[in-house]
Amino acid sequence: MQDAAPVDFNSLKEIKSPMVGVFYEAPSPEAEPFVKVGSKVKKGDVLCVVEAMKLLNEITADADGEIVDVCVENGQLVEYGQVLYKIF
C-alpha cells in the first residue's frame, strides 16, 4: 500500500474576511452550508456571507482547490483580515 503524498502546508491559501461583520456559513438558518471541509471549490464560488451594517456580502473563492479548514464558527463576529478558510 502506497502512502498519500505529504501535504505542503506552504501551498495552503487563506481566504480572509475583507470586512468586520458576522460570518454565516449558509444563505439561511435552515439551509446547508455553502462549503464544508473536503468541498471542492472553483474560483468565484460563494463560500459564505459576512453581514455588515445589515448588508449580506458574499465571500468567494479566489482560487480553485479543496477546503481543508473552516477557521470560524457560524454566527461568529469576524475582524478585517481574519482567516475564514484554508484551501489546498
Q: Of 84, 47, 44, 40, whose CA–CA distance to 65 is shortest?
A: 40
Residue type, 7: V
What is the predicted pLDDT for the residue at 1?
Answer: 45
Place of cell 435552515: 30
- What's the whole-model pTM score? 0.84
Report all structural domains of the chain as residue ranges with CATH numbers, in order of start. 13-87 (2.40.50.100)
- The closest alpha carbon to 67, from 31, 30, 42, 32, belongs to 42
Q: φ, ψ for residue 10 (rounded to 5)?
A: -70, -20
Q: What is the pLDDT of residues 25-83, one digit of tens each?
A: 999 989 999 999 999 999 999 999 999 999 999 999 999 999 999 999 999 999 999 99
Query: Residue 61: which H helix or E strand, with range?
Result: none
